[in-house]
């Protein structure tokens, strides 16, 4: 791991280890899907280091990207960073208003698919430490051509994960996703939703268990949906719809996404931050 300002405590290390292990299993499953499609595409990994604004070590991460026959472009990133928020940005972060020191570790994933009948997807879970400690993240499905069976499957799997912890989680976090993944200047949602949560603090063990279940739910649901649709025939009109929809996706990530802003404001790797952008998009 890239150097950090201080040794990790037990909670920080447990979260970091889990996110990296989830990355390994997700990438292995996505590569297996490529093998099933007759492709030998694999993830290429690039490590990066972060320098804190103080000039000291700030941690870093690993960016993984695969471009294949099924996954036109998929990025799976893990990072573990720490240091001091610079300027006024820290005052916008939960628990950092009076003390700009922070620690963050997490996984972030975005997949753009070759077949427009296979939905794109986003998943991110993270653990942050300021003067408070909390988990956040979620997953949302982004089909250019929505199919009700896939939407229902994705939501059902996330609901089951939520219900194992608190029956109020799913309706609350689904509503949060619907409100967050919305493009105000277009008046449309980014996709068909999922769940989004943040500032989940208090009982570390309970919140960590929930965050792990979110990761497991994603790994359960999404590959199943990909396999269901990846051989569906598509037309030039379908591709045109996909590329126009990708333009909306790019607009959200560049204008409204908090994760993009956090990465840019904390000196993250630019290519890792912007791996969420689609390989091909159109605007009329």
CATH number for the domain spanning 148: value is 3.40.1500.10
Q: What is the pLDDT of residue 284?
A: 85
Task: Note whether residue 98 is domain-resident.
Answer: yes
How far is Cα of residue 51 from the mean position of the Cα atoms in its chain? 23
DSSP 119: P
Percent of the chain whose pLDDT exceeds 90: 83
Sign of CA dihedral 96, 277, 21, 143: positive
Q: What is the pLDDT of residue 90?
A: 80
- What does the block give as tokens for 232? 């569906």
d(CA 84, CA 155): 37
Return the number of other C-beta atoms located less than 10 Å from residue 242's C-beta.
26
User: For 1-21, what is each residue's pLDDT tens digit?
Assistant: 578 988 999 999 999 999 999
d(CA 95, CA 108): 22
Task: Note whether residue 281 is domain-resident.
Answer: no
Q: Which one is catalytic: 122, 155, 169, 189? A: 122
Q: What is the pLDDT of residue 85?
A: 87
Write down the residue that tokens 């990296």 correspond to: 20
Q: What is the pLDDT of residue 1?
A: 58
User: For 26-84, what is each residue's pLDDT tens digit?
Assistant: 999 999 999 999 999 999 999 999 988 888 889 999 999 999 999 999 999 999 999 98
- What does the block give as tokens for 68? 């294949």
Write down the residue that tokens 């009329």 correspond to: 284
Q: Which region, left, alpha or beta, applies to residue 95 given φ > 0 means left and ψ of -120 to 50 means alpha? A: left
Q: What is the pLDDT of residue 264?
A: 86
How, if at all, do strands 71-84 and 133-142 pair?
Answer: unpaired
Task: Note whether residue 3 is domain-resident.
Answer: no
Residues 6+ apart with CB under 8 A from 231: 115
pLDDT at 235 over 90: yes
Task: Note whether residue 283 is domain-resident.
Answer: no
Task: Note whether residue 31 is domain-resident.
Answer: yes
User: Does the annotation mark 122 as catalytic?
Assistant: yes
Percent of the chain whose pLDDT exceeds 70: 100
Domain hosting residue 75, numbered range: 10-276
Task: Note whether residue 282 is domain-resident.
Answer: no
pLDDT at 87 over 80: no
Q: What is the mean pLDDT of the chain?
A: 95
Q: What is the mean pLDDT of residues 220-235?
A: 98
Query: Helix, strand, coil: what percent of the chain each, to 5?
Result: 45, 25, 30
Return the number of other C-beta atoms located less than 10 Å from residue 67's C-beta.
18
User: For 133-190, what is each residue's pLDDT tens digit?
Assistant: 999 999 999 999 999 999 999 999 999 999 999 999 999 999 999 999 999 999 999 9
Q: What is the mean pLDDT of residues 228-243?
A: 98
Task: Decide: 232 and 115 in contact? Cβ < 8 Å.
Answer: yes
Provide the number of structural domains found in the chain: 1
Task: Note whether residue 99 is domain-resident.
Answer: yes
Task: Decide: 125 and 19 in contact? Cβ < 8 Å.
Answer: yes
Task: Note whether residue 1 is domain-resident.
Answer: no
pTM exceeds 0.85 for this model: yes
- Residue 111, classed as helix, strand or coil, is strand
């Amino acid at each position: 791991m890239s150097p950090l300002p201080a040794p990790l405590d037990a909670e920080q290390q447990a979260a970091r280890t889990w996110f990296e292990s989830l990355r390994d299993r997700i990438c292995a499953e996505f590569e297996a899907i490529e093998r099933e499609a007759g492709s030998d595409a694999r993830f290429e990994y690039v490590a990066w280091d972060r320098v804190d604004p103080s000039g000291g070590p700030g941690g870093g991460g690993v960016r993984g990207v695969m471009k294949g026959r099924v996954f036109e472009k998929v990025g799976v990133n893990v990072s573990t960073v720490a240091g001091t928020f610079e300027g006024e940005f820290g005052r916008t972060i939960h628990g950092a208003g009076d003390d700009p020191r922070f620690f963050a570790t997490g996984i972030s994933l975005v997949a753009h698919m070759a077949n427009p009948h296979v939905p794109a997807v986003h998943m991110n879970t993270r653990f942050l430490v300021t003067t408070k400690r909390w988990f956040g993240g979620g997953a949302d499905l982004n089909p250019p051509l929505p199919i009700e069976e896939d939407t229902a499957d994705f939501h059902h799997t996330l609901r089951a994960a939520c219900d194992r912890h608190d029956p109020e989680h799913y309706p609350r976090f689904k509503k949060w996703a619907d409100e967050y993944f919305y493009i105000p200047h277009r008046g449309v949602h980014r996709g068909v939703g999922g769940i989004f949560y943040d500032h989940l603090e208090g009982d570390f063990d309970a919140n960590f268990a929930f965050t792990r279940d979110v990761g497991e739910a994603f790994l359960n649901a999404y590959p199943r949906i990909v396999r269901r649709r990846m051989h569906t025939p598509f037309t030039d009109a379908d591709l045109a719809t996909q590329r126009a929809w990708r333009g909306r996706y790019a607009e959200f990530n560049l204008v409204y996404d908090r994760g993009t802003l956090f990465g840019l404001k904390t000196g993250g790797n630019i290519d890792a931050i912007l791996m969420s952008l689609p390989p091909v998009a159109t605007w009329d």
